[in-house]
Chain A
Amino acid sequence: QSALTQPASVSGSPGQSISISCTGTSSDIGGYDFVSWYQQHPGKAPKLMIYEVSNRPSGISYRFSGSKSGDTAFLTISGLQAEDEADYYCCSYKSSSTLVVFGGGTKVTVL
């Protein structure tokens, strides 16, 4: 069981917007702005999409955005495209002996 809770799957049609939630506690998401999101295509390494809640690394499309409310973080993908079909993982710093925690992952399907 993962420390952060994500929905197992989210789907949407091309051009639509979808959001993925990631729920933690006050010891991780709720207490710090060190939330990151990763995209993983099958057989590939994860790729950083969002860091520190809402920042996009260079080269990441503006269609990807991040936010946080309380103990829950969100990744929003706008203008959904076929290439966005992948697994997405949230990650957070945690003020405990387990310093880094991941969500269980969300499979995004483009209908």
Chain B
Amino acid sequence: QVELQESGPGLVKPSETVSLTCSVSGGAVSSYYWSWIRQAPGQGLEWVADIFYDGITNYNPSLKSRVTISLDTSKSRFSLKLISVTAADTAVYFCARGAPISILGAAPKYFDSWGQGILLTVSS
């Protein structure tokens, strides 16, 4: 049973850069997508980015200019870096494992394991 656990600062100031990390345990990082999905307070889910085990990345176009996702297979963890944050980035950030559409990747077709989520608040 794979488990995911997010970590990172809970509070950052506007215009700052923030990094969130997701630690994966109980399963290998190979053959899957590793994703970040966020949920603003009282709102729905928004896909942010994902990375295939081979390092290929996908980004939500609305965030692509400010987001970088990376994967450290040796430590079984992946990270999200978000630059120039604003209050609109305040949300619970979930990390999740995605099943690939094909063995070549393309995109995740569903998310079968999720972390508990971490609240990121952007405020001065």
**Interface, chain A (partner B; CB < 8 A):** 2, 34, 36, 38, 44-48, 51-52, 57, 89, 91, 93, 97-105
The residue of chain A having its C-beta at the shortest distance from the C-beta of B46 within the complex is A102
Are B44 and A91 in touch, CB under 8 angstroms?
no
Taking A45-B117, A93-B101, A97-B61 as contacts, is the C-beta distance between A34 and B110 under 8 angstroms? Answer: yes
Instruction: Note all chain A residues with C-beta closer than 8 A to B53.
Output: none
A-B CB contact pairs (8 Å), 6 listed: A34-B109, A45-B115, A48-B110, A51-B110, A99-B47, A105-B44
Judge if B58 is at the interface, Cβ distance under 8 Å.
Answer: yes
Contact: A36 with B101, CB < 8 Å?
Answer: no
Among A2, A45, A47, A51, which residue has its beta carbon within 8 angstroms of that of B44? A2
- Of the residues B46, B109, B112, B115, contact of A93 by C-beta under 8 Å: B109
User: B110–A45 contact, CB under 8 A?
Assistant: no
Chain A hits for B116, CB < 8 A: 44-45
- Chain B residues within 8 Å of chain A by Cβ, number: 24
A35: min CB distance to chain B, Å: 9
Bound Cα distance A93, B114 (Å): 18
* A98 and B94 contacting across the interface, CB-CB below 8 Å: no
State the CA gap A47–B96 with chains docked (Å). Answer: 10
Chain A proximity of B20: nearest CB distance (Å):
15
Within 8 A of A (CB), among B92-124: 94, 99, 101, 107-112, 114-117
Determine if A52 and B110 form an interchain contact, defined as CB atoms under 8 angstroms apart: yes
B46 / chain A contacts, CB cutoff of 8 Å: 102
Contact of B2 with A by CB under 8 A: no
CA distance A103 to B44 in the complex (A): 7
Q: Which residues from B are CB-within-8-Å of A91? A: 45, 110-111
B21-51 CB mask vs A (1 if < 8 Å, else 0) is: 0000000000000010100000011110010
